[in-house]
Amino acid sequence: MSPPSIILTTLNAKYIHASLGLRYLLANMTRHGGDELRARTALREFTIARPAAEIVAALLETLGETDGETPQIVGFGIYIWNVAASTEVIRQLRQARPGLKIVIGGPEVSHEWGDQEIVRLADFLITGWGDVSFPKLCRALCFGPPPLNKVIAGEQPALEEIELPYAQFSADDLAHRLLYVEASRGCPFKCQFCLSALDKTALPFDDERFIAALENLYQRGARNFKFVDRTFNLKIDRSLAILAFFLARLTPDLFLHFEVIPDHLPERLKEMIARFPPGVLQFEVGIQTFNPDVQQLISRRQDNDKSCANLEWLVKHSHAHLHTDLIFGLPGESLASFAAGFDRLYALEPHEIQLGILKRLRGTPIARHSEKFAMIYDPQPPYTVQQTSLLDAPNVENFIRLARYWDLLANSGRFKESLKLLLSAPSPFQAFSTFSEWLWTTTRLTSTLKPETLLDHLFDYLTEIIGIDSESTRLTLLTDYQASGARANPACLQGLLKDREKPLPRATRSLANRQQMHEKGA
């Protein structure tokens, strides 16, 4: 069998991520390019940690030697997390095989692409949707007539004209990787920090067709589904149909991730959610900000009171694991107002509070506030905000460290009882901020901090800085450490952990285990 002449590739953040976009392109090579093109096409995925030279060698090995007549094409999916690494891969690929046709597409090169080095290196750029446009471009390169323009605006067909990608997931994907699926595309909301603000509306795939695809994946053994819909609970009938599908197929290893609108949780959806056992549902709930002035400024429609009531219900009456999101650095947001929003969210007791920092994604309307609010962003990906009129650079640097420490101590679930001692002040955010500054001054580290090291530092802070009784603190830390399942021997717990003369290798934990750390009574 002759080697492929068309390769679809991308650099994923981690191996566990299986590119949905590439599989859409592969599935549509037949429908919009023809059987011959599909037979010539292969999919190769890498991670951003792999050296560029190795990726180039692997791509060229897959293509084989060129005969000088058959066009060889490599299509790259470009995202904010891989654009730097992809640029270097394309530079080396161009040097190794000058006649290769390189096509790029994806959100990172669909807007404001005129000054990008990766665009200069590529032969063609498809902006926006590529499901139809990429196969058509390949057909033109292989059979003519040759395309006239380097930059091609992606064609946006009706969803029924797009072949679904799920048959392209391999058995290995189903067994070892997180499967991305989507019941709809787009978003009707206009939050200015998000590329979805450019969408006109949310477009649903046909329910029957999508459910049939889920059934096929399930029968093939898929149990780990991450829905990429921006608004899973926008249309309740569709949400209920999907949840009912999975409720009828519960298994101990089933895992479902949804992104939900916080202020839209009608009773019939609550009733369905309440029927799921622990460990199955994970909801990403984008709060972003509780400041109504900031919400209005960035065109974010959100009923804060309803959002809080819904979160409270989910915590008390469901087994869903809640990832709630806040964004630091939004225009008009001060440190005080962000702290107030954090404290309000923390009081609702979600399992995790994910602390993000504003990024100025290419093409997003957030750019319109840059001058008025003195927004300065890093010119390099991921384009994080560096300072604003209300937050100076040290504020932002301190927050980046705080967010890292919060993930290690709070979101890990390892310090559930100990955090109650640390955050007992009137403002949990201020209390943690003070601890964060102390931890940074003490260690000068935000990474390579093992749980045992954090435990010892937390003991020192609680006893020496706050002044809590050492014995009661030690017992609280012991409770957390034993519940975490860790097997080393922290200094502050010497004598309390039997048969641990020497530290043992730290146990690894799955995503499900991380969720279990947050469960009541863990």
496: exposed, middle or buried (C-beta count within 10 Å: 0-12, 13-18, 19+)?
A: middle
Dist CA 329 CA 332 (whole Å): 8
CB atoms closer than 10 angstroms to residue 148: 7
pTM reported for the whole predicted model: 0.93
Dist CA 506 CA 488 (whole Å): 7
What CATH number is given for 6-159 in this structure?
3.40.50.280
Dist CA 500 CA 188 (whole Å): 56
If DSSP codes are grouped into helix, strand and coil, which group holds residue 6? Answer: strand
Say if residues 103 and 22 touch (Cβ distance below 8 Å): no
Give the DSSP H or E segment for 33: helix 20-33
Dist CA 232 CA 236 (whole Å): 8
Dist CA 79 CA 107 (whole Å): 6
Which positions ≥6 away from 347 have C-beta within 8 Å?
Answer: none
What CATH number is given for 169-391 in this structure?
3.80.30.20
Note the pLDDT of residue 510: 46
Chain region(s) in the chain for CATH 3.40.50.280 = 6-159
Helix axes 335-347, 428-443, angle to 10 degrees: 110
pLDDT in single tens digits along all 522 residues of the chain: 689 999 999 999 999 999 999 999 999 999 898 999 999 999 999 999 999 999 999 999 999 999 888 999 999 999 999 999 999 999 999 999 999 999 999 999 999 999 999 999 999 999 999 999 999 999 999 999 999 999 999 999 999 999 999 999 999 999 999 999 999 999 999 999 999 999 988 999 999 999 999 999 999 999 999 999 999 999 999 999 999 999 999 999 999 999 999 999 999 999 999 999 999 999 999 999 999 999 999 999 999 999 999 999 999 999 999 999 999 999 999 999 999 999 999 999 999 999 999 999 999 999 999 999 999 999 999 999 999 999 999 999 999 999 999 999 999 999 999 999 999 889 999 999 999 999 999 999 999 999 999 999 999 999 999 999 999 999 999 999 999 988 888 999 998 987 665 543 433 334 455 566 666 444
C-alpha separations of 269 from 44, 182, 379 in Å: 40, 19, 43
What one-character DSSP code corresponds to residue 161?
G
- State pLDDT tens for residues 90-141: 999 999 999 999 999 999 999 999 999 999 999 999 999 999 999 999 999 9
User: Sign of dihedral through CA atoms 261, 263, 264, 267?
Assistant: positive
Note the pLDDT of residue 517: 62
Chain region(s) in the chain for CATH 3.80.30.20 = 169-391
C-alpha separations of 76 from 101, 122, 151, 517 in Å: 11, 10, 14, 39
Q: Which residues pair with 47 in a beta bridge?
A: 12
User: Sign of dihedral through CA atoms 106, 107, 113, 118?
Assistant: negative
* Torsions phi, psi for 182 (to 5 deg): -145, 130
Tokens of 494: 């010497």
Picking from 296, 400, 398, 307, the residue whose alpha carbon sits closest to that of residue 358 is 400
- State pLDDT tens for residues 230-252: 999 999 999 999 999 999 999 99
Q: How far apart are the first and last CA of the chain?
A: 55
Ramachandran assignment for 112, one of left (phi > 0), alpha (psi -120 to 50 degrees), beta (any other)? left
Tokens of 336: 């005080």
Tokens of 287: 């709060």
